[in-house]
Amino acid sequence: MEKETLINHYFEKLLSAEEQKQFDLLMQSDVDFAKEVAFQKSLKKAITLNERAELKRKLTSFEPKKAKVKSFKIWYAAASLFLIAGLGFYFSQNSNKAIYEEFYQSYPNVVAPTVRGEQKEDIKSEAFYEYDSGNYEKSLALFSAIYESEKDDYALFYKALSQMELQKTNDAINTFNQFDLNKNNAFTPFVKWYLALAYLKDNQTEKAMPLLKSLSENENPQQEMAQKLLTELD
């Protein structure tokens, strides 16, 4: 099967068991394939955010202007038209899971970037190579081993990120909660951000909100995104 078709089936959730094996193998062995999957994933999320904003703008144009009952009927008719046009999914997208999927983006390797053609044999380089390749089962095992022996924050952070990529949300929450958020180091705002997203996905909004408010009220790399997400949750 052509790689492009395989990627399309992946995003459409149509992979057969055999295709899934082929996809997983390519993610591990073909760097360009893994990069294309990561690029398309980011692109689809960006498109979803834009579509959501545009749909909100259209729905807002039907705000009540006359009697409440009559205005409701107008709004309802307008919404029905959107349903017919295939945009009725807007309402279901208000769920925590939908918002999570819109705001979640894979965090890049900023600690030890993988250089093509350069292969190092230390465990740290191997862990980041597997992470960059999208082989999160292996990166999870390697970052776990590094943290057990060295207790470095970067290993704990990327361990949790690997768990999130593997949809192991509860495990990621437990890992993120091992951080001392009072340390306020370079990882702190990103730990808060991804922990908040994990809580949101797990329908623990009450635990996500304090983290998001903290990020939104103080200058940090995730301040703007936290403000946008809080707006979505209001």
| pLDDT (average), residues 217-227 | 94
Q: How many domains does the chain have?
A: 3
Same domain, yes or no, for 18 and 30?
yes
Same domain, yes or no, for 113 and 46?
no
Same domain, yes or no, for 56 and 74?
no
Higher-pLDDT residue of 6, 149: 149
Same domain, yes or no, for 141 and 211?
yes
Q: Which residue has the tokens 């740290």?
A: 124
- Chain segment 168-179, per-residue pLDDT in tens: 999 999 999 999
- Residue closest to 27 by CA, chosen among 111, 139, 161: 139
Same domain, yes or no, for 55 and 141?
no
Same domain, yes or no, for 153 and 225?
yes
Same domain, yes or no, for 137 and 42?
no
Same domain, yes or no, for 43 and 70?
no
Domain that holds residue 80: 63-94
Same domain, yes or no, for 87 and 138?
no
Side-chain-side CA neighbours of residue 141 (13 Å): 5
Distance between CA atoms of 92 and 55, rounded to whole angstroms? 13
Same domain, yes or no, for 132 and 155?
yes
Same domain, yes or no, for 125 and 107?
yes
Same domain, yes or no, for 160 and 207?
yes
- What pLDDT sits at residue 172? 98
Taking the alpha carbons at both ends of the chain, their separation in whole angstroms is: 45
- Enter the tokens of residue 152: 């470095």
| Mean pLDDT score of the chain | 80
- What pLDDT sits at residue 119? 55
- Enter the tokens of residue 1: 């099967």
- Chain segment 68-126, per-residue pLDDT in tens: 444 444 444 444 444 334 434 443 345 788 899 999 999 999 888 766 545 557 899 99
Q: Is the pLDDT of residue 41 over 90?
A: no
Side-chain-side CA neighbours of residue 135 (13 Å): 20
- The single-letter code of the amino acid at 20 is Q
pTM over 0.85: no
Q: Is the pLDDT of residue 229 over 70?
A: yes
Residues constituting the chain: 234
Q: Is the pLDDT of residue 11 over 90?
A: no
